[in-house]
Amino acid sequence: MSSIRRYAVCGLSARGLASFVLPILGLTDRTADGGFGYGSDEDDLSGYAEVVAIVDTDADRVAEFNQALQRLGRSPIPFFPPTQYDEMLATVVPDAVIVTSPDHTHEEYIIGALRHDVDVVTEKPMVSTAAAARAVLAAERSSNGTVQITHNFRYPAAHRKVKQLILAGTIGRITRVVMDYHVDLRHGASYFLRWNRRRSLSGGLQVHKSSHHFDLLNWWIGSAPDEIFGYGALNYYGPASPHRPGGELSVGELRAKDPYFLAQQESGVFPTDDDSARAGLFGLHYPGQYPGSRPLYLYDAEIDIEDTYSAVARYPSGASLTYSIDFSSTWEGFRVSIAGTHGSISLLHGRTVDGTALPASDHITVSELFGPTRVIEVHPEAGGHGGADPLMRRDLFTGPSPESVELGLMATSTEAAYAVAMGDALTQSIATRRPINLAALLDLS
């Protein structure tokens, strides 16, 4: 029997292509692979996996990709619209599905696969609401299939080092954690030019983006919180933005006067092809998702999510978390400080918008309460997301490494459900001004 696992990919997204489809096809050299390569030779997963189907709403986008494969002498990958998902599972019989579609669609693909006892690898956030997370946990309990979640933010070298220090007991029992997160104006604006800007599609940035951070924090702390409370607002984008040029302007006219565009027009974040479907990573178009007839812009009325929020959470151990983020900062990264009964750990990871590392970025400071303070410099590794993606892919496709097992690097579905529930509960708390119980939201109390 072949040891190559057969995967169906749901959502031919930028992430799906870069992180899964191209490495599985062994297309790792962008120059040699007609612009479609991603990664390096070490990313070649063709000896372990095969893509046997693509499920997407956009037949034209998949056709464009298949044409590119044929130009490279490769076979096209069979395409199925979402209406034929069940049929695909029954006839193609993949060993597993990889879910890389917009967040609100994950629930349907995960639960559909579990009904066929098929394993799932899904992008974060596992799903876009706490109710959907509850449904996935229930479906997994009654299936022979399993769900693995790609919480790659656990994998950067500095994050693994912090986990090692905590597990070694360096700072004792954790008492409080503070994370101050910044998404720079280039990256931040990008969320408001894509599907992510609608809560019904992404769960808001509290789920879409902060699930990364909540999962990392919970993993470091070693448990999930029981309650969360917060405040938030839309301060930078949307119709009431202080940066929106006045008057009734077309997108083209807005751009000409818009400070975000003028500051970042070379960055590639701002789509300029208004008359044709938007092109994304690898030049592949999105005629379904972003047709030329409907250019999205930063100040559109349909933006219904917050771009700034702060939260406080309480853990069963008595530890507390303070977390704050905005999506229009002058730098990208975070400061985190973890205090324990016997000392503290702090870490800064940050770059200015032009990519310059902040002074003391990627240095971990470890202070023992009655002992010395030492600084550990950590070097980001090669590969996507500071070396996180290649390591995570190895765990997913070739089996967990000894370090992964020791640190518990691979997120479980319950851990991923909590990361989603924290984001959803934070949104609820912002709306109701009340603290929200998380176990109750997930039906785990």
Ligand X SMILES: NC(=O)c1ccc[n+]([C@@H]2O[C@H](COP(=O)([O-])OP(=O)(O)OC[C@H]3O[C@@H](n4cnc5c(N)ncnc54)[C@H](O)[C@@H]3O)[C@@H](O)[C@H]2O)c1
CB 238 to ligand X: min, Å: 20
φ/ψ (deg, to 5) at 7? -115, 140
Question: Which one, 94 or 343, has the nearer CB to ligand X?
Answer: 94
Q: In the window 107-136, what residues touch ligand X (CB under 6 A)? A: 123-124
Enumerate residues 258-297 that contact ligand X by CB under 6 A. Answer: 280, 288-289
SS3 label, residue 170 = coil
Check if the beta carbon of residue 333 is closer than 8 Å to that of residue 182: yes
Is 403:160 a contact under the CB 8 Å cutoff? yes
Give CA–CA dist 171/347, Å, rounded. 14
Taking the C-alpha atoms of residue 423 and residue 445, their distance in angstroms, rounded to an integer, is 18
DSSP 356-389: PBPTTTTEEEEEETTS-EEEEE-PPPSSTTTTHH
157-196 mask for ligand X (x: CB under 6 A)?
--------------------------------------x-
Query: Does 14 help bind ligand X (rule: CB under 6 A)?
Result: yes
Check whether the bond before 125 is cis (ω within 30° of 0): yes
Region of 96-104, 166-174, 297-305, 424-432 interacting with ligand X (CB under 6 A): 96-104
Encoding tokens for residue 374?
A: 């030492």
The token pair at 330 is 């002058």
Task: Mark the segment that binds ligand X (CB under 6 A) among 10-18, 234-242, 296-304, 327-335.
Answer: 10-18
DSSP state of 411: B
Nearer to ligand X, 166 or 284 (CB): 284
Selection from 129, 334, 330 nearest residue 220 by Cα: 334
Site string for ligand X, 304-343 (x = CB under 6 A): ----------------------------------------
**Best CA proximity match to 310, nearest among 300, 327, 322:** 322
Q: Is 55 in the site for ligand X (CB under 6 A)?
A: yes
Supply the minimum distance, in Å, between the C-beta of residue 299 and ligand X: 21
* Least gap, CB of 328 to ligand X (angstroms): 19
Count other C-beta atoms under 10 Å from residue 436's C-beta: 21
Per DSSP, 258 falls in state -
Rounded Cα distance, 387 and 362, in Å:
14
Helix H or strand E segment including 8: strand 5-10
Least separation in angstroms between CB 382 and ligand X: 16
Residues within window 199-258 making contact with ligand X, judged by CB under 6 A? 208
Axis crossing angle, helix 210-221 with helix 157-167, rounded to the nearest 10: 30
Part of the chain binding ligand X (CB under 6 A), chosen from 57-65, 88-96, 238-246, 260-268: 57-65
- Among 57, 146, 235, 272, which residue sits at the site for ligand X (rule: CB under 6 A)? 57
Indicate the residue among 58 and 415 with the shorter CB distance to ligand X.
58
For ligand X, the closer of residues 109 and 315 by Cβ is 109
Considering only residues 28, 66, 143, 150, which one is a binding residue for ligand X as defined by CB under 6 A? 150
Q: Are 8 and 40 in contact (CB under 8 A)?
A: no
Stretch that binds ligand X, among 99-107, 213-221, 296-304, 347-355 (CB under 6 A): 99-107
Total number of residues that touch ligand X (CB under 6 A) = 27
Q: Would you give the binding string for ligand X spanning residues 379-418, x where CB under 6 A is met?
A: ------x---------------------------------
Q: Are 381 and 394 in contact (CB under 8 A)?
A: no
User: What is the smallest separation between the CB atom of 376 and ligand X, expressed in angstroms?
Assistant: 25
- Nearest residue to ligand X by CB is 13
According to DSSP, the residues that pair with 347 across neighbouring strands are 336, 364
Which residues of this protein are in contact with ligand X, per CB under 6 A?
10-15, 55-58, 61, 82, 100-103, 105, 123-124, 150, 152, 195, 208, 280, 288-289, 385
